[in-house]
Chain A
Amino acid sequence: MLANGVFKSAKKKEKWLNLVITLIVLFVALLVLLPIWWIFRSSLMSTGALNAYPPSFIPYEWLWSNYSKALETFEYWKYFFNTFSIIVPAVLFGTVTAIFCGYAFARLRFRGKKLIFNICVGTILLPGMVTLIPLYVFWTKGLGLGDTYWPLILPYLTGGGFFNIFLIKQFLMTIPMELDEAASIDGAGRMCILWTILVPSIKPAVVVVAMMLFIQIWNDMLQQIIYINSMSKFTFAVALTNFTGSFGTNWPVALAATFMTIFPGIIIYILGQKSFVEGIVLTGMKN
């Protein structure tokens, strides 16, 4: 009887604790979303309404015309096209090569495996800023690829950093070897097994790698700034760095342009979200 009572009160306590935690999480989540909402709501207001005090949380009238005004100076679709003509091949190259390398480390026996693996791990700790200048010299002076997208794309032919290779390897190691063997008895070659059986079964990891490459390029303002010179080749990052001057102090229009650059990321996240979280969670669990 007594034990039962204690048990019940403990359960009640836990329920209360959960409620309090839920409220805290909700509050923090709203704080996290507040900046995004604030940027969005400001992009839909007139300068006058923006400067009013107290400021309104929701725009009094929704001035979508700010967006068409922004499009007059900010050539959104051109930058969109330019940005994605770097991102698409780079993500594709990076993901495919990471799969090949991860496969070799996970499934194949070869001499020097441990040594090669350790040499690769070392590169994770190497800051990109250190190699920036020699690489710039190599791409522009050595190969004459200045003011092209190649220096921004070609490095991704190397698996896009060893972490991605490592991730694929970890995932492949969780797939039972019997699957390969069964397919092999049926006469399938190694590459056939890799691409038709193994890759589909590690889909979350592939999505994670693709998404991380996407974010990496998205955020790499520096390299886009140093390699791209001509205005016709500007990406979002370069254009927005250079062009805020041309909006003057017209905050709503500048914010409309800003919000438009944020938008593709949100869409892609919504599309890939499920696999992404699943993939990251699984990585941790199998370690």
Chain B
Amino acid sequence: MKNKAKAKIKITSRAGKKEEITAYLCLIPAFLGVTFISYLPTLAVFVLSLFDWNGLTTPKFVGFANFTRIFTKDIYFIDSIKATVLYAFLAVVGAILYSLLVALMLNMKIKGRTLFRSVFFVPYLLPAIGVFKGWEWLYEGNFGLFNFLLRMVGLPPQRFLNSTDQVIPSLVLIAIWISGNLIVIFLAGLQNVPGVYVEAAKIDGANAWQRFWHVTIPSISPIIFYNVLTALITHLQVINPALALTNGGPSKKSMFMSYVIYLYGFQKNKMGYAAAYAVIFFLLVGIFTIILFKTQKSQIFGGEE
């Protein structure tokens, strides 16, 4: 009897061991990714930021000289921070509002919602380069769609991408247009809102607005947070519009930080200097992420009161 029990334990533990080995084997890709694509390169960028290196000769250790230079003499630094933060802020707010409103409407029992859902998602699937080249034409100064629409309602034509004031809002509009993925995620969240709560609020005499504000919004607040977080990280990294359309112009108004990293690293071959920029960018994104997590906490407590 005793022997039998012992044997059983041994077998299960051997099976457990086998299970563990299978698990580690399955996780090799994740392990490689985490180590070689994420954490080691992050460490490396910090190290590289302390060197002067053109990518060919032996790197020269320069301490914090790259950082001092960026903070004091760099011709792009201030503009790049301004452009990146302004763009990210407007794009996140715009995309979240647009996608939440559309998702709320699509969540109602309207005709053809499946078809509509696909329509709003289409722009997200188009390749970035095609989107930007296409929109360049829509923004064209003389014969573009937007100036045609403006003329139709009797407004003067605008310069959009060539105007220092309008370039960021014009690019943000494109970003909002392609944010169909957020709509789908919001929709998923909205379908999760327990119908019981909505009914209960109805019986208590809450009107549509109160139901929206006190039942729907708190129920989907984790989804809102998730969407804001991913949108923020995506939009702070904005680079495609500068690569495809503006090259950072006009007068450095769309000189996004990612684009500056690209310029220094790959156009001017200043690898160490670009790495220092990347470190600053890393810290910037980190600060915004932390702020966001802090506000989320207070919101949860606010909702529970």
Q: Which residues of A contact B (CB under 8 A)?
A: 17-18, 21-22, 24-26, 28-29, 32-36, 38-39, 42, 50-51, 53-55, 97-98, 100-101, 103-104, 108-111, 113, 116, 119-120, 122-123, 125-138, 141, 155, 157-159, 161-162, 165, 190, 215, 218-219, 221-222, 225-226, 236-237, 240-241, 244, 251, 254-255, 258-259, 261-262, 265-266, 268-269, 273, 277, 280-285, 287
Chain B residues near A222: list those with CB within 8 A.
239-240, 243, 258, 262
Contact between chains at A108 and B26 (CB < 8 Å): yes
Q: Which 8 A-B pairs have the closest CB atoms?
A: A284-B188, A158-B33, A131-B41, A134-B44, A97-B29, A104-B26, A108-B23, A134-B41
Option from A35, A116, A215 in Cβ contact (under 8 Å) with B124: A215
Contacts of B133 in A (CB 8 A): 240, 244, 254-255, 258
Q: Which of B70-78, B110-118, B162-170 touches A?
A: B110-118
State whether the Cβ of B27 lies closer than 8 Å to any Cβ in chain A: yes
> Are A110 and B278 in contact, with the CB atoms below 8 A?
no
Contact B34 A129 (CB under 8 A): no
Which residues does chain A contribute within 8 Å of B24, judged by CB atoms? Answer: 104, 110
* Contact flags B5-36 to A (C-beta < 8 A → 1, else 0): 00000000000100110111011011011101
* Complex alpha-carbon distance, A6 and B114, angstroms: 32
Neighbour of B30 across the interface among A101, A125, A259, A269, CB < 8 A: A101
Is A262 a contact partner of B30 (Cβ separation < 8 A)? no
Whole-angstrom distance between the alpha carbons of A258 and B262 in the complex? 24
Report whether A129 and B281 are in contact in the complex, using a CB–CB cutoff of 8 Å: yes
Q: Does B148 contact A109, Cβ atoms closer than 8 Å?
A: no
Q: Which residues of B contact A161 (CB under 8 A)?
A: 33
**Are B30 and A158 neighbours in the complex by a CB distance under 8 Å?**
yes
| A255 B23 Cβ-Cβ under 8 A | no
Check if B297 is an interface residue, CB within 8 A of chain A.
no
Q: Which of B237-251 contact A (CB under 8 A)?
A: 237, 239-240, 243-244
Q: Are B120 and A24 in contact (CB under 8 A)?
A: no
Chain B contact residues, CB within 8 Å of chain A = 16, 19-20, 22-24, 26-27, 29-30, 32-34, 36-42, 44-45, 48, 55, 102, 105-106, 108-112, 114, 116-131, 133-135, 137-138, 140, 142-143, 145, 148, 151-152, 177, 184-185, 187-189, 191-192, 223, 233, 236-237, 239-240, 243-244, 257-258, 261-262, 265-266, 271, 274-275, 278-279, 281-282, 285, 289
Query: Is B143's CB under 8 angstroms from A55's CB?
Result: yes
Main secondary structure of the interface of B (DSSP, over half): helix
Min CB gap B190→A, angstroms: 8
Task: Tell me which residues across on chain A come within 8 A of B184, comparing CB atoms.
Answer: 277, 280-281
The reply to whether A110 and B20 form a contact with Cβ atoms under 8 Å apart is yes
- Contacts A18-B110, A134-B41, A136-B265 known; A219 to B122 CB distance under 8 Å? no
Known: A240-B133, A265-B127. A155 touches B118 (CB 8 A): no
- Cβ–Cβ contact B22 & A190, under 8 A: yes
A287 to B41, CA, bound (A): 32
State how many angstroms separate the Cβ of B114 from the closest Cβ of chain A.
8
The residue on A at minimum CB distance from B190 is A284
B278–A29 CB distance below 8 A: no
Closest-by-CB residue of B relative to A261 is B130
Could you write out 7 A-B pairs with CB less than 8 Å apart? A26-B116, A129-B278, A130-B282, A225-B266, A237-B129, A280-B185, A285-B188
Q: Which residues of B contact A219 (CB under 8 A)?
A: 127-128, 240
Question: Which residues of B are found within 8 Å of A34, using beta-carbon distances?
Answer: 145
Q: A51-B142, A97-B29 are in contact. Are A123 and B34 (CB under 8 A)?
A: yes
Chain A residues near B261 (CB-CB < 8 A): 129, 132-133
Given contacts A130-B282, A157-B29, A240-B129, contact A21 B110 (CB under 8 A): yes
Q: Given A39-B137, A240-B130, are A133 and B48 also a contact pair (CB < 8 Å)?
A: yes
A238 to B287, CA, bound (A): 33
Closest to B40 in A: A134
Known contacts A29-B116, A280-B185; A158 and B278 CB within 8 A of each other? no
Choose from B109, B125, B243, B274 the contact partner of A266 (Cβ within 8 Å): B125
Contact A116 B125 (CB under 8 A): no
A135 touches B143 (CB 8 A): no
Point out the residues of chain B lying under 8 angstroms from A133, CB to CB. Answer: 45, 48, 261, 265, 271, 274-275, 278
